[in-house]
Structure 1
Amino acid sequence: MLKEEITPAEYREIKAEYQPEINSLEAQVLNCSTPSNKIDDLINKAVDNVSRMDCLYENRTVIEKRLIVSSIYPEKLTFDGFNYRTPRINEAVRLICSLDEAFGEIKKGHSSNNTEMSFKVTL
């Protein structure tokens, strides 16, 4: 309408035609909205589950173990006759696992960058 490609009357007609659909979509968005505390709870649960993945894995059936592995490696493990390969790791799991590394640097008080360390070994 600002570019004068449609008239104000045409704009109102188009808006009236699509308003029920707009209202329906806005209602769906509101219904899907999750309070931030709910999201925080989900994130905390995910971090907790990933941090104790070894215990969860050990105490499961073979089928449940497959589900755990397939959730970590969504593109499946492949075996080339000598080595196992993982095309990619689940991004959420990778980020959660990298949290330990980030906090480890803060606690230790030094960088994990190995190039800053001396290569000499004293005996």
Structure 2
Amino acid sequence: MKEEVNILIVEDNTTNMRVLMDFLGDKGYNFLMAQDGAKGVKVALRRKPDLILLDINLPEISGYDVCKTLRQHEEIKDTPIVFMSALSRNEAQHLTAEAGGDDYLPKPFQKSEVLEIVETHLNRSKS
């Protein structure tokens, strides 16, 4: 029996959310969704996903602040968090490390890169 894998996508752009679900849909993952940072924190703490894909530029609470908040909660502090942004790779990677994120996924999304990053972090979290 295969263990369910839950991925939380925190993204205010529904098109981007759909693209991610299309890319990952045939892998059998369950998707949890939030369109702002506050809801993202609530869903993450309640559902404890296996991986969080987190937009940097969210309304009201930035992705960085969401990450910092989640890292303070013992029950979820080790969950892999992958930031998503159209920022330059160097800038985003620096800010990702500073906020406590695990990786960075550039926009626009490339299917092969999405699959590689998601699978890498899901495998790490299981070991």
TM-score, structure 2 normalization: 0.20
Structure having the larger proportion of residues in strand: 2
Structure 1 or 2: more helix by fraction: 1
Q: Which has the larger radius of gyration?
A: 1
State the TM-score, normalized to the length of structure 1: 0.21
